[in-house]
Chain A
Amino acid sequence: MTSTAGVPPVSTDDTTAAKPRGRKLTGYWLILPGAVWLLLFFVIPFYSLVASSLFDPKGSVLTGYEMTWHVGNYVDAFNQYKGQLGRSLLYAGLATLTCLVVGYVLAYAIAFKAGRWKNLMLVLVIAPFFTSFLLRTLSWKLILADDGWVVGVAQAIHLTDVLNIIGLTTTDDRLLATPFAVIAGLTYNFLPFMVLPLYASLEKVDIRLIEAAGDLYASPMRGFFKVTFPLSLPGVVAGTLLTFIPAAGDYVNAQLLGSTNTKMIGNSIQSLFTTQGDYATAGALSVILMVIIVAAVMAYVRTAGTEELV
């Protein structure tokens, strides 16, 4: 999580004017590949996105779009899609929280309790990546099927009733096509992105510090919250960011596991861009999503105050 692209172009070893010209430029040559990459795959697409968001909405794919600084697109897009925006942030937030709880326990177990099984467990965390993201999400459709045993068991232990009361499902006879299924899908798909950074920072925690806490009469619980958890904060911040950002923009889970009432902002952007051909609104909506996420992330990182991260 460090940025080394901006290495100072001037070397510091000697300052004589007689330095060969080529050497002076070495720094620039070294950043060239990175700069070209950034220009091609970030700056130009970003400009293109911003330009689309300011297209005259009267244009169309076939008659062409012209950029006319039409800022009104933002107002229209926000008003029309604020529901989906809010829902995306809510679902992504809940999924991140669930990932954090589940992922922390898992990462803790791998870092401190796994012993010789450590490597195997790490491989198992990454193992799902060997199958396509799409296929894994589709399999959840089979697992959570209305006539499947998962729904049967959930009904028998009244889990479906509980979910229904807190509003995560809409009826008590199914799990698919509900907010619960979408959030569960997001949690499942992004869990490894939480576990790995958490593991990396828990692994670095010096066991002797935890032992010292015990020696100083801290209960295991107190020791955890005073020593282990604060030391793992960089992992928590990195993990939550790596989970929240892609989850907020995800549209596959909502598409496959959700219903018409669980559409997220990614679904709206995709439909605007491909089926409706409304580049102006699609662009404005993408920029809005980006701004919201960047603002949220900056506020979060500032509050969490983990300088090692940025």
Chain B
Amino acid sequence: MAGVDRRTVFKGAGGAAALGLSAVALRYGFNTPDQKQDPSTLVAKDRSAQDKTLVFSNWPEYIDEDDGKYVSTLTQFERETGISVRYTPDVNDNNEFFAKVKNQLGSGTSSKRDLFALTDWMAARMIQVGWIQKLDAAKVPNLHANIIDSLKSPAWDPKRQYSAPWQSGLTGIAYNKAKVGEIKSFEELLTRKDLKGRISLLTEMRDTMGFLVMIGGGDPENFSDDEWQAAIDLLKKTRSDGQVRSFSGNEYVQDLASGNILACEAWSGDIANAGDENLVWVPPEEGIMIWADNMLVPNLATHQDNAEKWINYYYEPEVAAKLAAYNSYICPVKGAQAAMEKVDPDQVDNELIFPTDKTLSQTHRFMALDEATMRTYEGDYADVTGA
């Protein structure tokens, strides 16, 4: 080994070893596993009887609260059953919550929750990969007896074996009537000159694209790739024309009230809860997108029995009416309208809580997507919303 001293050899060997180790670590250390599970093998021993608790994760500001003499539906449930409920409003966003529980549910361990509420498409996704436990139909008779027809059999859970809607809602158009004339259709929203740069659309791909597919004459529940492409092109054009100011989540309500935007795509309950009489929500002529947030029992939940008691309780018409009177979202329970007479007579004819059959006949859902299509569509949508 002429000209090469021992030190250099050691250094070289050390470097090579470090490189090799790094390569091995990179190759095998960070792969993500297949997250599919078999729910029938992931049933925890039910501790409901000895441990009277229930852990429920829900969206913020989605349940009535005790206020002076008013007893909330949750407190009433605790009194009637003796179960203490750990209600956490920690679902802010479907994707975010998915990320929160992915590592546990994907690896077949407990998410430490007995129940959570997610929007249709995410509920469908979780059921599809086997993260959700079947409900015992005998323990939730109210659910099957009282659920309204329009929510009875979604394509992803036709018999409601896995899920129970908490609340449902409509996506349509809202405008500020103090600043702009009536808007009737979604197409108007996207083309009217006086709205240029003063509208916002929702970041939720399924809501917005549902409308764009409908404008092109397609059916959001069953459309082709060509129809999707046409809808994306239309959105792209609308955006490059400068019609759309932003794509937003819930924050559009403030922008609408302050006049930064004149009109927008909006969720019914948000506008009802805003308490600003200038803000009007209208169903677009093309049709309305409907969605629901669904209660789901995850794998290895230890208090499924209590969760089923909870679901059954919220499908009692009177309880449902109380909750709906607070939330102003669509009540998923039959008979709640009659019960509302006693709870809050002013709300009996509130179409946002009890939409008429005519309104419901115009509603559409977004079709279920497999993982690969979902990624393509979300990618197409993100390219337009954030180019």
Contacts and interface: CB of A to CB of B under 8 A. Distances in A.
Contact of B35 (A64, A67, A272): A64
A208 B259 CA distance: 56
Interface in A62-86: 62-67, 69, 80, 83-84
Chain B residues touching A, majority SS = helix
Contacts of A258: 246
A206 interface: no
Contacts of B96: 274
A257 B104 CA distance: 36
Interface string B373-387: 001001100111111
B275 interface: no
Nearest to B196: A171
A88 to B, nearest CB: 12
Interface string B285-304: 00000000000000000000
B31 A259 contact: no
B32 A261 contact: no
A59 interface: yes
Interface in B85-113: 95-96, 99, 102, 106
A261 B386 CA distance: 7
A61 B32 contact: yes
Contacts of A51: 25-27, 29-31
Interface string A267-310: 11001101111110000000000000000000000000000000
B26 A260 contact: no
B259 A61 contact: no
Interface in B330-387: 371-372, 375, 378-379, 382-387
Chain A residues touching B, majority SS = loop
Contacts of A147: 258-260
Nearest to A58: B372
Interface stretch (B55-63, B66-74, B165-173, B237-245): B237-245
A285 to B, nearest CB: 13
Contacts of B5: none
Contacts of A145: 258-260
A63 B95 contact: no
B197 interface: yes
Contacts of B35: 61-64
A188 to B, nearest CB: 19
Contacts of A80: 383
Interface residues of B, number: 46
Residue from the set A55, A65, A145, A277 with the largest chain B CB neighbour count within 10 Å = A277
A60 interface: yes
B179 to A, nearest CB: 9
Contacts of A52: 30
A269 to B, nearest CB: 11
A54 B26 contact: yes
Nearest to B260: A146
B386 A271 contact: yes
B151 interface: no
Interface string A16-55: 0000000000000000000000000000000110111011
Nearest to B25: A47
A48 B30 contact: yes
Interface in A173-203: 174, 176-177
Contacts of B80: none
B244 A260 contact: yes
A90 interface: no
A184 B242 CA distance: 21
A275 B246 contact: no
Interface residues of A, number: 45
Contact of B371 (A63, A171, A274): A63
Given A260-B239, A260-B247, A275-B378, A64 B386 contact: no
B33 interface: yes
Contacts of B387: 83-84, 260-261, 263
B36 interface: yes
Contacts of A146: 198, 259-260
Interface in B173-206: 197-198, 203, 205
B129 interface: yes
A177 B386 contact: no
A147 B176 CA distance: 14
B229 interface: no
A274 B239 CA distance: 23
Residue from the set A146, A263, A267 with the largest chain B CB neighbour count within 10 Å = A146
B34 A63 contact: yes
Contact of A62 (B31, B129, B246): B129
Contacts of B244: 259-260
Given A54-B26, A261-B387, A279 B32 contact: yes
A164 interface: no
Interface string A117-128: 000000000000
A212 interface: no
Residue from the set B106, B125, B203, B379 with the largest chain A CB neighbour count within 10 Å = B379
Given A145-B259, A176-B260, A274-B95, A259 B30 contact: no
A102 interface: no
Contacts of A65: 31-32
A276 B246 contact: no
A61 B32 CA distance: 8
A258 B244 CA distance: 12
Given A260-B387, A272-B382, A64 B33 contact: yes
27 contacts: A47-B22, A47-B25, A51-B25, A59-B32, A61-B32, A61-B102, A62-B36, A63-B371, A65-B32, A67-B28, A67-B30, A141-B255, A142-B258, A146-B259, A170-B197, A174-B197, A177-B197, A177-B245, A258-B246, A260-B246, A263-B387, A268-B382, A274-B96, A275-B203, A277-B375, A277-B378, A278-B375
The 8 closest A-B pairs by CB, nearest first: A51-B30, A263-B386, A64-B34, A65-B32, A147-B259, A276-B378, A51-B26, A271-B382
Interface of B: 22, 25-36, 95-96, 99, 102, 106, 125, 129, 197-198, 203, 205, 239, 242, 244-247, 254-255, 258-260, 371-372, 375, 378-379, 382-387
Given A65-B31, A67-B26, 5 more contacts: A47-B25, A60-B371, A84-B387, A146-B259, A276-B382
